[in-house]
Copies of this chain bind each other. A is one copy, B any other.
């Protein structure tokens, strides 16, 4: 398998997460870092044939001009991440991969994201159908140029405002005719990438809270074209903690009275989330998981605030007020100080490998066994992290080479 090569196509390629994925794959490929934080490198995966980091070629769509090297260098300066020797050693690979970047689409991505765009060649006037065709052409050219066995399309773009879905998103038959409508686009940008990938029979992974492929019409397309979907919204920090701690409260039969979570961070994602419309999409998943696990609705509050000095260091304070025996109120607080892009990137790499694994097993449709990676798992209503992990374990057990 080792002479085969696979494409990882990043939507929103040169954001913090995309850049860290590219740098991480380069570093792993050159054996310059260890495999800490890759779930797919747990002993659980021994005997499972996964694509190796060094087999990946990275490309992607981007609406800004910055490339991987510039973003990585800025992150090093501002957030203190990435050792300078690693940046130097991976510079050649990142430079090569930057040649695979193509201009993204701004169709229905929302004003705040659109404002970030400074990349020449961004076409604002296209119809959804035209944008999809352009994206498909980019993907096919990438696959051909690098002689790739398969290409995973993985979205790590900024959070779009919530996009309302209707009957037209329930079936391919209803959706397709509307793609040529020029005004009032039927799909947001995130879903155009998903459509293009799936229509080419390529696997699509949505690491963001955007709509992407979360609709029956696109699930239908995936099955029709024989490919897979995984999503959505990578579970990296505070929400991971919630889905780890809520089961504890549940199993101990403690009553959660209130769960307050305040998040501060300062990377580009923060600029986008400073727009209340975009923030609404993000906060939704973060807030729903606790109720879903404990089976009742405690008083919850979630805020995400943009504090530039924090850069990529997302800090969350959570205050959990709960009632124990004989009505006694007690408190658990936690403070999470994590580097957002560094938390997200390894999970995204895991998901790319898992999507390719599913492809090698001829699976189609939504990969519901990947729920432990997501805040809003597609194809799965379980949010308890440990129950989700058991699903993953059970799946992986069936994948071992015998």
Contacts and interface: CB of A to CB of B under 8 A. Distances in A.
B385 A36 contact: no
A254 B247 CA distance: 21
Interface in A312-335: 315, 317, 319, 321, 323-335
Contacts of A33: 325-327
A391 B264 CA distance: 37
- For the residues of A in contact with B, the DSSP-based class is mixed
A332 B334 contact: yes
Interface stretch (A163-171, A177-185, A207-215, A340-348): A340-348
A308 B299 contact: yes
Interface string A327-370: 11111111111110011011000000000000000000000000
B84 A252 contact: no
Contacts of A48: none
Contacts of A20: 325-326
Contact of A325 (B24, B240, B335): B24
A37 interface: yes
Contacts of A372: 251
Contacts of A317: 262, 317, 319, 333
Given A303-B303, A317-B317, A326-B81, A258 B342 contact: no
B264 A326 contact: no
Interface string A24-45: 1001000001111111011000
B321 A307 contact: yes
A385 to B, nearest CB: 7
Given A248-B240, A334-B334, A321 B339 contact: no
Contacts of A27: 326
Interface residues of A, number: 72
Contact of A339 (B86, B241, B330): B330
A295 to B, nearest CB: 9
A251 B387 CA distance: 12
A321 to B, nearest CB: 5
In the A-B complex, the 7 residue pairs with the closest CB atoms: A257-B309, A386-B386, A334-B334, A37-B325, A331-B337, A328-B342, A258-B309
21 contacts: A24-B326, A35-B253, A37-B252, A240-B248, A253-B346, A258-B264, A260-B264, A262-B317, A299-B309, A307-B321, A317-B319, A324-B338, A324-B346, A325-B343, A332-B334, A332-B335, A332-B336, A332-B337, A333-B335, A333-B337, A334-B335
Given A84-B84, A251-B385, A264-B319, 8 more contacts: A20-B326, A37-B323, A42-B251, A81-B326, A258-B309, A260-B305, A317-B333, A330-B343
